[in-house]
Amino acid sequence: MNGSRSSFGDSSTHHRDSINGDKGAPAVSKKWIFAESLLSNLRVMERAVVQNFMERSQLAYRGIDMDAHCERVPRGRADSDAAARSRSRGDDDGTAEAEGAAAASAGGAAVPPVALSAESLQPLWCYRAPQTAGRRVTAMTWNRKEPDILAVGYSARGEKRDALAEARADPADKSERGLLCCWSLKNPLAPELVLSLHAETSVSALAFSSEHPSLLAVGCTDGSIVVYDIQRDLVAPSILPNVSTGVHTGAVWELRWVIRGKDRGEFLMSVAADGRVVQWAVGKSVERLAPDLMHLKRPTNERTETTFVEGVSESDEAAGRRREGAPREETILSQQSGGMCFDISPLDDAIYIVGTEEGCVYQCNKSQTETYDVAYEPHTELVYRVRWSPFHPYYFLTCSVDWTSRLYRVGRSAKVLTFDSLNQDAVQDVAWSYTNALLFATATAQGCVEVWSISDVVYPQAHIQFTDHRRLSCVLFAEQESAVLVVGDEEGDVTVFLLKDKRFERPEMDEDQQIQWFDDAVRNQTG
């Protein structure tokens, strides 16, 4: 490669020399075109240009208020300038609209239309690109070393299936490949990396490695698991599955890297629609570690009738209709239960919680591959997500198609608290705050983001309604001090919101005090 560059440069130089009669100057003028640093320099310049008109939003993401730092005005300034600044401080929405218009003209980061429940909620920007239009956001995850890098997985273009239809879909029917983008705070207008999947399938799960932060594991709807090195892979993944070691036969809905122990590396853990919980060794290939951790089974007393949710189309399976069109014989004979999600205990990585498409929530142990440690009070519909509290190791959240999010205590089968969605809507995802022990957020199928506190099970602390009622699929809190939410949807957009109120910020407590605060809030709600 370097040789071809040199040859091209030399021929160009000799041609210019023959015209100008100046040996040396033309060679210098042409060298920058072939410099290896050209691409990185252009990227830095692009980020600087973006910052010129998105600086306010980027600083707000960090919790920095520009107006609070720009109060002093030289006495010689005209009063009109001070008045203009005062109006600007009093009209944050106008500033956001101006930045949104500038972003839209530059490439398209304008926020979708939303209705906010409080002035303390501020839309910042939207991660959007021409490549993501018409694709559903299916998974999101933060990089473990660089928390400003967000990896987002997308479905094949035009594919907008609910979870159960996705699990039953034939991968050969997909006309295009899914997409993977890495977005950065430094340039919200364009992804840092765009990768098309290795086969005609969609992204269904993502996970960054902690020990090797550039390694991104990707679970797919065809059951495969591949690993990309985002620093090197521009076309194909570095690590492919070993097809002879028992790959999943259904969509992989959750992936997690698990540290084996000191100097022993990591392995991958997955759950899929085929009802298997599996461990994988990652080396030259992704290889299954036998035996499987668990084969999920349907509960023996499961009802086989179809259930409906009021206000939802009968054809919309994930938002309210279950097992439509499945032969009754299949329902009776099949004892396999599709796995939808799992999370690992922060105290003991041998313990994990798994949620199923029947609404069951099980506590499992890696030492027991046939029986569950605890069968928790089930949801009445599919469980989309299970998330352990980042503060309190004895509590975890679930969310379900049955309109609810629930808080459970480890070891107690009965639910502790139930949070009903405002619009009686399927709850697609749930995420804990990383700074406030009581806060969590949910995303629903009819376009509503709700921010809840453990201290109030009746009303959310705030909510954001997308006015076009687009289906939301993913929600995450940014892993930083300021309270920022990122929300993925079926249109391929990832919208970023700032929660500015003090009740969303980190309280002046240490970790032990936050745990006690959590216990007190639960006691007040249940007592």
> To 5 degrees, how large is the angle CA 271–CA 439–CA 310?
65
**pLDDT score recorded for residue 324:** 39
3-state secondary structure 5-32: HHHHHHHHHHHHHHHHCCCCHHHHHHHH
CA–CA distance, 58 with 278 (Å, rounded to integer): 40
Q: Which amino acid is at 484?
A: V
Token code pair at residue 245:
């070691």
DSSP state of 496: E
- Contact indicator for 106, 50 with CB cutoff of 8 Å: yes
- Contact indicator for 258, 207 with CB cutoff of 8 Å: no
CA–CA distance, 234 with 196 (Å, rounded to integer): 9
How, if at all, do strands 285-295 and 240-241 pair? parallel
> 484 in helix, strand or coil?
strand
Nearest to 222 by CA among 245, 197, 243, 252: 252
Nearest to 141 by CA among 99, 182, 81: 182
The whole-model pTM stands at 0.80
> 66 in helix, strand or coil?
coil
Per-residue tens of pLDDT for the chain, all 527 residues: 344 333 333 444 444 444 444 555 555 567 777 777 777 788 888 888 888 888 888 889 988 876 655 555 555 554 445 444 444 444 444 444 555 554 544 444 689 999 998 888 999 999 999 999 889 999 999 999 999 999 999 999 856 555 555 554 554 444 478 999 999 999 999 999 999 998 889 999 999 999 999 999 999 999 999 999 999 877 888 898 887 778 899 999 999 999 987 777 899 999 999 999 999 999 999 999 989 999 999 887 654 443 333 334 444 444 443 333 444 444 444 678 899 999 999 999 999 999 999 999 999 999 988 899 999 999 999 999 999 999 999 999 999 999 999 999 999 999 999 999 999 999 999 999 999 999 999 999 999 999 999 999 999 999 999 999 999 999 999 999 999 999 999 999 999 999 988 899 999 999 999 999 999 999 999 98
Token code pair at residue 405:
């999010």
Q: Which amino acid is at 75?
A: R
CA–CA distance, 86 with 395 (Å, rounded to integer): 46
CA–CA distance, 293 with 11 (Å, rounded to integer): 63
CA–CA distance, 389 with 458 (Å, rounded to integer): 20
Q: 149: how many CB neighbours lie within 10 A of its CB?
A: 21
Note the residue count of the chain.
527
Domain 123-526 annotated CATH 2.130.10.10: yes
DSSP3 helix / strand / coil % (the chain, rounded to 5): 25, 35, 45
List the chain domain ranges: 123-526
CA–CA distance, 465 with 421 (Å, rounded to integer): 12
